[in-house]
Chains A and B, each alone.
Chain A
Amino acid sequence: MREGDAIVATSRERVRARRPMTRRAATTRLAYALVLPSLLIICLLELYPIAYSVWLTTQDVQLDVRGLDAVFVGADNWRHMVRDRALPEIVVTTVHFTGLVVIVTLLLGLGIALLLNQEFRGQRFCRLMLLVPWAIPTVVSGRMWGLALNAGFGVVNTVLRAVGLVDHPVQWLTDPRLAINAVAFAQVWTNVPLVALFLLAALQTIPGELYQAARVDGAGPWRCFWYVTLPSIRTVGLVLVVLTTISSFKVFDLIYVLTNGYAGTMVWYFNVFVQSFKNLNFGYGATLAYTLFVVIAGLTVVYFRLFPLRLEVER
């Protein structure tokens, strides 16, 4: 009996000892089977091209009917970028555009989030309508603002004239001093819903007790806002600054439709497009694109600092 018990016990132990190992291996296998399809397509159509573009930066590329004709030029593209006379102005335009868009989008988004966080009749309708500028394809927004900002018959000029703010039609999309701001205005319109949604979601997580406590301590609405609301949405706000900066770097559709890069609206990203697909200078285009990629990668590091991954998994 005893011996038999001992045998049973050891075999049980063996099973117990072995099971976690095999189960873990099975889990790993399952996990990779699940991740593999998406990983494959991402590697093939995103990471491989990115690696390919490193090679492109060292080439002078000509496309002809038969295919690709690339000549190794070493660091010529990079040297060309450093010396490119057009770039300083493009950098200034990009920074101007991005700064303007980020500041206005965040402030306006916060305003809208605070407004839609109030209780009033029609609040749900307003939250629904907030999605409209987000849902509309950006090309269509471009068309829309092109219509409203038209210098000849655009309604924006008409209204401004009617209230006496300007006395002659403003050339919103052709005046080099104004056009980039007009594009920024359209960009804010398309980007503000998402920012407002994030901030609204953050506002809704603030417990009401915090406000009660602040009120008991004699805080007025402004102090409540300053000491309770703002600190609570700080993290989301910072994340949104990073995300809005990245998305402003990547503005394309609006410029393509509204100004096509003329009138002082040539930003870095659009310049990449023009160099590669209009001038067909793929080597130089890839070099410019790669530089932007590095800048954005830097911002991504900031993003991870602000917003550490939280994956609660135990198995």
Chain B
Amino acid sequence: MIRPGRLRRALDGAGLYALVGLFLAYTLLPVLWMVLSSILVETDFVRFSSELVLPRRIQLGYYQALLMPWRTQQIEYGVSAEYGYFLLEALWHTTVVATFVATGTVLLGSLAAYAFARLRFPGRVFLVRTYIVVQMIPGLAVLIPLFIVIRGWNLVDTYPGYVLPLIAFFTPFVAWMMLGFLQGIPRELEEAALVDGCSALGALWRIVLPLSVQGLVASLVWGFLSAWGELMFALVLTGTRVKPVAVVVSLGVGEIQARWGFMSAQAVLALLVPLVLALVFQRYLVKGLTAGAVTG
């Protein structure tokens, strides 16, 4: 394929790389800055940040306090051990929540997507549209009544009380994403299987499933990431027994009386898992996210 190289020639090489540098600075510097604040002593960081005085040493005290609270003997760098236990617990809870949400959404969403992509049945277009419209519903419009409903069921601050609403909330998008993937799989393969006497379900299992691994992975990662960073539902539907990491990160300086660097360390630990997942599965994710838009 011939790539349009005109713009490139218009800018000469140096200009292009200047833009690339700007782009990388814009996307990466803020993150690196936060990482930096988490590995400097508070006073060093404040002087670096406000007077550009280069710091002389780095420290990993915040990370040690957060990841190995049992080894934090005294209050170092203004951090007490309980914050560490607090965060570790939150990371664990978030992992559980995100795993259940990802599995649940992909299971439900891909089944629906298969029906939408491959089967003709009355009400199909209506249902697909419903699934798209549902994605546009603002979360708060659901959350207010949902809180009352979940509270009535005595499920506030439990795993199901938080996981199930998130599954309901994310499934339509996963169905939409999987629909994009499934439409890209040539139908002839399944038809061949059907002619050879395979049932529709058998064709789904033996032909479509192996071919849609990319889409399933992309959906799983998307579901995991979305659940991992979710804040609003978490603020309302969780509390102390279930404590997502987003809530912990959202606590302000006044609320936990900690240092900026400490809060940065917390935030860095909260972003690590989603960032690694996104970068590892970048190709699938990009394909999945843009699948619907370009073919349409």
Contacts and interface: CB of A to CB of B under 8 A. Distances in A.
A230 interface: no
Interface stretch (A4-12, A90-98, A248-256): A248-256
Given A135-B275, A139-B231, A313 B20 contact: no
B83 interface: no
A144 B268 CA distance: 9
A131 B282 contact: yes
Main secondary structure of the interface of A (DSSP, over half): helix
Contacts of B229: 136-140, 253
B126 to A, nearest CB: 11
Interface stretch (A26-34, A73-81, A176-184): A26-34
A140 B249 contact: yes
Interface residues of B, number: 111
A126 interface: yes
B270 A140 contact: yes
A150 B143 CA distance: 32
Contact of B278 (A44, A68, A134, A315): A134
B250 to A, nearest CB: 5
Contact of B274 (A35, A50, A136): A136
A304 B129 contact: yes
B152 A202 contact: no
A172 interface: no
Interface stretch (B66-74, B105-113, B210-218): B105-113
B290 A201 contact: yes
B252 to A, nearest CB: 8
Interface in A119-137: 119-120, 122, 126-137
B236 A286 contact: no
B37 interface: yes
B31 A132 contact: yes
Given A139-B250, A256-B250, A34 B115 contact: yes
Nearest to B174: A38
Contact of B24 (A129, A135, A157, A315): A129
Contact of A115 (B2, B23, B183, B270): B23
A153 interface: yes
A273 B140 CA distance: 7
B258 interface: no
B146 A138 contact: no
Contact of A35 (B1, B111, B138, B250): B111
Nearest to A219: B6
A289 B141 contact: yes
A137 B128 contact: no
Contacts of A221: 6-7, 9-10
Nearest to B142: A49
Interface size band for A? 35 or more
Interface string B22-61: 0110111011011001000000001001111000000000
B116 interface: yes
A73 B121 CA distance: 44
A155 B10 contact: no
Nearest to B47: A153
B168 A269 contact: no
Nearest to B51: A158
Given A120-B20, A143-B249, A143-B267, A292 B50 contact: no
A151 to B, nearest CB: 10
Given A30-B119, A293-B141, A311-B183, 11 more contacts: A46-B168, A119-B3, A130-B27, A136-B271, A150-B49, A153-B46, A239-B293, A249-B138, A272-B144, A311-B125, A313-B117
Interface of B: 1-10, 13, 16-17, 19-20, 23-24, 26-28, 30-31, 33-34, 37, 46, 49-52, 107-109, 111-112, 114-122, 124-125, 127-129, 131-134, 136-149, 151-152, 164-165, 167-169, 171-172, 175, 183, 200-201, 225, 228-229, 231-232, 235-236, 246, 249-250, 252, 260, 263-264, 267, 270-271, 274-275, 277-279, 282, 285-286, 289-290, 293-296
Interface of A: 26-28, 30-32, 34-35, 37-39, 41-42, 44-50, 52-53, 56, 61, 63, 67-68, 112, 114-120, 122, 126-140, 142-145, 147-148, 150, 152-155, 157-158, 162, 189, 193-194, 197-198, 201-202, 205-206, 208-209, 211-212, 215, 220-221, 224-225, 229, 235-236, 239, 246, 249-250, 252-253, 256-257, 269, 272-273, 276-277, 282, 285-286, 289-290, 292-293, 296-297, 299-300, 303-304, 307-315
The 5 residue pairs across chains A and B that have the minimum distance between CB atoms:
A137-B229, A208-B2, A135-B278, A45-B168, A38-B108
